[in-house]
Structure 1
Amino acid sequence: MTSQTIPVALGDRSYDVVIEDDLLSRAGTILASLSRGRRMVVVTDENLAGHLATLQGSLSTAGIDSEAIVLTPGEGSKSWATLESLTDRLLDLGVERGDHVVALGGGVIGDLVGFAAAILKRGCRFVQIPTTLLAQVDSSVGGKTAINSRAGKNLIGAFHQPSLVLIDPATLDTLPGRQVAAGYAEVVKYGLIDDPAFFAWCEANGAALLAGDPTARAHAIAHSVAAKARIVAADERETKDVRALLNLGHTFAHALEAETGFSDRLLHGEAVAAGMALAFGFSAARGHCPPEDAARVAAHLRSVGLPDGLAACGIDASGKTLVAHMAHDKKMDAGTLPFLLATGIGETYLDRSVALADVAAFLDR
């Protein structure tokens, strides 16, 4: 694919998202202007040894020394313990406020490194190099950084924008199929939020994308990044109910993840898929969304192997139990939890009048 650069327009915090196959092998040339002639620290996980070698080789070719910090993969690393260990290691390596730490990995690495950068010496810089579809189309763009706590997912964090995002779609070639499918849920989300034509594109091309078709993959990544960049530029810190649209399905999803212990039993993207189907089902149950639209969403998710509800996630918890998880949601405001609901495909809205008892009853049904 040809190189594409998508700007995220945030004033003095603006940055570019560069998308290009095999970008990892020439990342050193791009990062040279950010290195300040100093060693760059790359944070990654144990599953990415091959990508790490490519990146460090590229940095070396560009005359940049590098040091790698390799973490345990998985959602469990988004923890206080790992954050403490990571920040101590970054301090031991002499990272300065003007340095750029490189996050090489999926959403877990990006969220963790971004949060570490936000708090290290009251804020240093970082670069996102996402290697999963979910991170490429969603979590690497927009500056949301966080770790999990016992109370729930992403409850400890900060807004901290990267200086640059480098997306190499070729890194998806080594990703397990289940991980690619989980990331695809976030692609579908952009169609469901406000772009019915893109959802129709997903219905026609989703299977090809998951099978590795490079044209479909490139289009999905670029379209998703552009959509998120537009929304983030309009509402960086989610204060205008615009960026909140990106949370479609996530209130349900985080409850499902909490119920499964934030484990590989249910990947984040799988939970988001089920959450979006539940959000449309709940909207239909309340009479706000045509039932056929809710059925269409669920059918497409099933067609690509993603879960469309509690049973498909292997969850038999009561509605009361799942709603108890939601009570810790970071979006809770004055005792009310806003929900992203829909009047149709591509027509979502924020509803602040939802009673959690009604959600629990719906989940029990």
Structure 2
Amino acid sequence: MYSQNKEKIFFYCLSPASPEQAAYQHSIICLAEGLQQLGIPFYGNINYWKTSVIEDSYLVCHHPEIRADDCQVAVISGRWFDYGHPFPENFFHPKRKYITIYLDDSDGLRTPSFRDEFRKFDYIFKCHYNRKIKYPNNFYPWAFGLSNRIIEATKDQPDFQERNQTLLYNFRVEHSLRDTVKTLLLKNDINKILPLDETIDSANPGSFCAEDYLQWSQSGRRHYRSYYQRLKSSVACAAFGGVFVPAFPQNPKHLMSRILNHILDGKMISKIDSRLRIIVQWDSWRFWESLGAGCATFHVDFDGNNFVLPVMPINWKHYIGIDLKNVKETIQRLIEDTQILAEVSTAGRRWAIEHYSPVPTATRFLKVIGKDHLIK
């Protein structure tokens, strides 16, 4: 039964239509798992994220007698609008007593949350936050983070010394940043110290056990036991995600910004001076999966590219952030410091779990919206 007295949180969720149209709401899952562990009640407009292949149990549960108006916080994620849904009926009605939250983890430079009607939200938690972009006042930096599914899939790791001395570089989706970095790494002889493993594990859902099939279908085909095993068996993993866009104008709503992004693709922009471009869409499941699996995680330098997370990682301590203007320096440091990969592996995983597993994610969320009194 639901709680009559406690403050409650309400999630607007979408039902998966198929593995190809799963409407995977990762940001809601991470937050709800943390709230659950903190003992804070939450409900949904539907049952979402099945937690058992045997029982009819869900992470977010629908109770017909509980609506958003019965709660103190109402949350919508980016998938809601990515799938073409309008705002829930009377969501912003003048007598509402709930705080309105939008979890914006959508891809692209100009996501729906830049539209004028989204200024009505009290808080917009924005993934892919870049300091060089001009955001509306209700935006706050956020992250994909770690769900319990990812943490469970990446546990039971071998000793670092037993891992393959390879850099896992097996992306399914093309990003202009990935192509650029791969060219630079190969040009600077990365294969001499860390050969690239570009193996892409083929999907055969028919061979999955019931638990793996459930996770695979709910996550939009993102859950592969063989992939997680490959992660745990590699000393390093490339987590480069993102596309290049012009640095000016800073406001993605500006007409010139839309025109430039329409006529220039990421590959063209990657060739211009670094001062005239920025990287967007840089956060990814791969980044967090790699950290969770204890890989030495490769990305570009966060500070140097103006990436913002609520708690920032330290380059060469928690991850290996490449300077695109000087990739040779990265290669040379890897050659000279033979212990750096093992050290980054341990520190990176510890940092990710300490700051971005479900409980710290939910705790941070509650503090930002002024509901930290709910934390026991």
From the CA coordinates, give the structure whose radius of gyration is larger.
2
Higher helix proportion (structure 1 or 2): 1
TM-score, length basis structure 1? 0.26
Higher RCO structure (Cα 8 Å, ≥6 apart): 2
